[in-house]
Structure 1
Amino acid sequence: MTAKPDLAALTSLRGIAAWYVVLYHVRVSTVDLLPPPVIQIMSKGYLAVDFFFLLSGFVIWLSYRDRIAGNGVAALPRFFARRFARIYPLHFVILCGAVLFALLLAATGRASPESYPFHELPLHLLLIQNWGLTNALSWNDPAWSISVEMAAYLLFPLIALGTDWRALSTPVLLALIGLLALALHGYFVAMDAPILDSDIPRTGLVRCLIQFAIGTILCALWLRWRERPAGTAALILACGMVPGGLALAGLLPETIAVPLAFSGLLLAAALTANRARNPLAARPLHYLGEISYATYLVHFLLFVLFKLLFVDGSGQIGTAGLAGFLALTLIVSMLLYHIVERPAQRMLNRRFDLLLGRKAQTA
């Protein structure tokens, strides 16, 4: 089997997107510190999650489509085992931390039943909390996206076994991307949800599944175009900037503009990933991408604790407070990645390999 290409630039973009989400969640506490234009940019950080969904579809198609298509149902246990080992251990550890935190708040009379509803805890343990089963985000809010990612993983074999996008012509693939983006927009209109961050418990699942599917098509296009000259990437990026620009001008709703704009960005980044002197291949950026899952999952609860300990009743933080929280998030992300995430993933993969009776393969 051919080794999976190393697209370090995409890992770096994942890290940048994770930190954009961090800035989104701290923005309300920085309105006295930062100028309004910066706060406005930070207020769109929720869109980074849409990039995650596209990137996930891209990477999963690249890593697993041929394995599943070639081996059929026999390949599914390994696929699901690998995905479980990748996302669940860190989620479980942070959720346990949230439970301890909620118990501490209850013991000190500062509990928030709305944020930590114990009757919904089984849904979070099963990672199905955002499958239309709840009315609000709770416990560790960012985990809603890995809940819907789990649903995408469960549906991916149907895509992998049902079709090979590479067998379709380029115009058909581009039309499919457009139709899926239009379908996503139509869904949000039907749900009376004006932006992609609207009513996540109701809209998040469809938001993920459609963009995950677009990501799989983008991977098929990349496989077709990856040997083309760099001008192809520039053209794709320029095309992606058109819907983005129209959205910024208020001429196109983000529910259709963002999937198209991010599709152009992702495809252009993949096509240029291995170019010489690519700034996205820098080791520090790549490392931020490696620890981005830990950053994404831990920052929200960490900020709740940080505000409880260090922020006064105004809810505002100064320069030192912001720098301190960002540094704390980075350090905790590094510790979780090296002490929990990667060791647990390796351990589970070894055990699953023994259980499945096959030699381990790199996911």
Structure 2
Amino acid sequence: MTGKPATTYLHALTSARGIAAWLVVFYHIRGTMPWLPDGVRAVFAKGYLAVDFFFLLSGFVIYFSSHRAMLDQGAAGIRPFLCRRLARIYPLYAVMLLLTIAFAALLALSGRAAPGYPWAELPLHIAMMQNWGFTDALSWNHPAWSISTEMAAYLLFPLLILATPIARAPRAALLAGMAILIAAMGLWLYAAGLDNLGQHIVRYGLVRCLFEFVTGSMLCALWLQSGTARHTGPLTVAAAIFGGAALLWYLNPRAELWAFPAMAAALIFLLADYARRAEANGHRPSPPMQALRYLGEISYATYLSHYMLFTWFKIALVTDAAHVAPWKIGLFLLLTLAVSSALYHLVELPGKRLVTALLRRDKRQAEGDPRLSPNRSR
């Protein structure tokens, strides 16, 4: 590393996260746009792959931002790590779940059937455990399934750092480990009869997340060892992996099960290294890149809100869900952008600050901070 702050290099990856979030949006609304060219619809039909990109990127970013503190603090660092992750994801998650609960309650009070909102499963959603193998179908706010599996990955992350040699493993071992993980996941899903990564989410979504999250963490460990911006060997290897996996996928569509994770991992490595080189050369992001970065910053709100927002949008403004006029789709996209920005600034950021402040207060109380003593003189 070059001594830059930990968040600097992540900005380039933030833009990619924003693009991926919008691919998920188009994936969920593609069935309402028969007027799109077939090629565009085919691209949107693969939007579920953006979630696999998220899992890999999450492992990369979490390792980059948290592994050093975990190694320095040992087991004492587990609680602060998990608290920081909860502060990051739960406030917005809770608000969207509450809005969905309110909607389901209105359906029930009006006498309408609401099979997609099983009240018996609600405790699992509150605990972010709904996609841990306890249910038979997606329910409530569907995209939240991946947040559930991410929570499982966060719980396993301390074990990955403290009980494995990932932080000190040589580059060859890390590269081999990633290849083994991707191949093992692909073989598992292939043996289960899957043709693509988007099938049977309830049963195999957790498998995808854990394998890809760990692969992303190993990818970051490899990237941190890849040398300075002067070395191009790792870039050549990453580009070769990307091209080879893309060719394999093209020749055999079912190879997506392992080809796409390999492609996504190579792309993340290339983007991270591009950012490192740009920083080393003093390059500043252009206005379009700054706009993309903002889309990335609000991408969690986009991802978590768009599904229910489209449900409500169709109830209010759509008469034929199989054919929504282009202007209405445009209106929905603008609405999603506006709502994402509002949720980010009004819920996500304040919620994160509030939870973080409460956690710090609890820590001070546990440590006997005299400033929090009720008997402290004023």
TM-score range, shorter chain: over 0.9
CA distance in 2, matches of 1:100, 1:262: 37
Of residues 23, 35, 38, the one that matches 1:36 is 38
Give the match for residue 375 of structure 2. Answer: none
Give the match for residue 216 of structure 1. Answer: 217
Q: Give the letter aligned to residue 261 of structure 1.
A: M
Which has the higher mean CA deviation after the structures are superposed, 61-70 or 144-153? Answer: 61-70
CA distance in 1, matches of 2:109, 2:162: 52
* 1:91-111: CA deviation from partner (whole Å, max 9, x where unpaired): 111011001111222233333
Q: Give the letter aligned to residue 330 of structure 1.
A: L
1:286 pairs with 2:293:
yes
- Cα shift at 1:226: 4.8
CA distance in 2, matches of 1:42, 1:239: 24
Q: Give the letter aligned to residue 262 of structure 2.
A: L
Q: Any idea what SS the aligned residue of 1:4 has?
A: coil
Of residues 305, 316, 327, the one that matches 1:320 is 327
CA distance in 1, matches of 2:112, 2:322: 16
Give the match for residue 13 of structure 1. Answer: 16
Contact 1:58 1:216 in 2 (8 A): yes
CA distance in 2, matches of 1:252, 1:319: 33
Q: 1:314 to 1:343 in 2, by over 3 A?
A: closer
Q: 1:46 to 1:279 in 2, by over 3 A?
A: farther
Q: Any idea what SS the aligned residue of 1:263 has?
A: helix
- Cα shift at 1:277: 5.9
CA distance in 1, matches of 2:321, 2:315: 12
1:188 pairs with 2:195:
no
* 1:157-193: CA deviation from partner (whole Å, max 9, x where unpaired): 0011013424222222111111000110121123222
Contact 1:11 1:290 in 2 (8 A): yes
Q: How does 1:1-363 map to 2 (within 5 A)?
A: 3-6=5-8, 7-31=10-34, 33-113=35-115, 115-229=116-230, 231=232, 232-233=234-235, 235-250=237-252, 253-274=255-276, 275=278, 276=283, 282-357=289-364
CA distance in 2, matches of 1:101, 1:226: 52
* 1:35-58: CA deviation from partner (whole Å, max 9, x where unpaired): 111000000000000011001111
Q: Give the letter aligned to residue 23 of structure 1.
A: F
Q: 1:322 to 1:245 in 2, by over 3 A?
A: farther
Percent sequence identity over aligned pairs: 44
The gaps in structure 1 that reach 5 residues or longer are none
The gaps in structure 2 that reach 5 residues or longer are 370-378
CA distance in 2, matches of 1:3, 1:279: 20
TM-score of the aligned structures, taking structure 2 as reference length: 0.90
- Cα shift at 1:222: 1.2
CA distance in 2, matches of 1:214, 1:272: 20
How many matched pairs? 357
Which has the higher mean CA deviation after the structures are superposed, 61-70 or 241-250? Answer: 241-250
Q: Give the letter aligned to residue 129 of structure 2.
A: I
CA distance in 1, matches of 2:312, 2:172: 50
Q: Any idea what SS the aligned residue of 1:116 has?
A: coil
* 1:297-319: CA deviation from partner (whole Å, max 9, x where unpaired): 00000011111111113531121
CA distance in 1, matches of 2:208, 2:257: 9
Q: Any idea what SS the aligned residue of 2:113 has?
A: coil
Contact 1:8 1:281 in 2 (8 A): no
CA distance in 2, matches of 1:180, 1:247: 18
CA distance in 1, matches of 2:195, 2:174: 27
Q: Give the letter aligned to residue 346 of structure 1.
A: R
Q: Give the letter aligned to residue 97 of structure 2.
A: L
Q: Give the letter aligned to residue 181 of structure 2.
A: L
- Cα shift at 1:195: 1.2
Contact 1:136 1:201 in 2 (8 A): yes
CA distance in 2, matches of 1:217, 1:262: 14
Q: Any idea what SS the aligned residue of 1:141 has?
A: coil
- Cα shift at 1:279: 6.4
* 1:223-262: CA deviation from partner (whole Å, max 9, x where unpaired): 1125133744355234213212321332651111111000
Contact 2:23 2:44 in 1 (8 A): yes
TM-score of the aligned structures, taking structure 1 as reference length: 0.93
Larger Rg, first or second structure (1 or 2)? 2
Q: Any idea what SS the aligned residue of 1:167 has?
A: coil
Which has the higher mean CA deviation after the structures are superposed, 221-230 or 312-321? Answer: 221-230
Contact 2:107 2:113 in 1 (8 A): yes
CA distance in 1, matches of 2:47, 2:329: 17
Which has the higher mean CA deviation after the structures are superposed, 318-327 or 247-256? Answer: 247-256
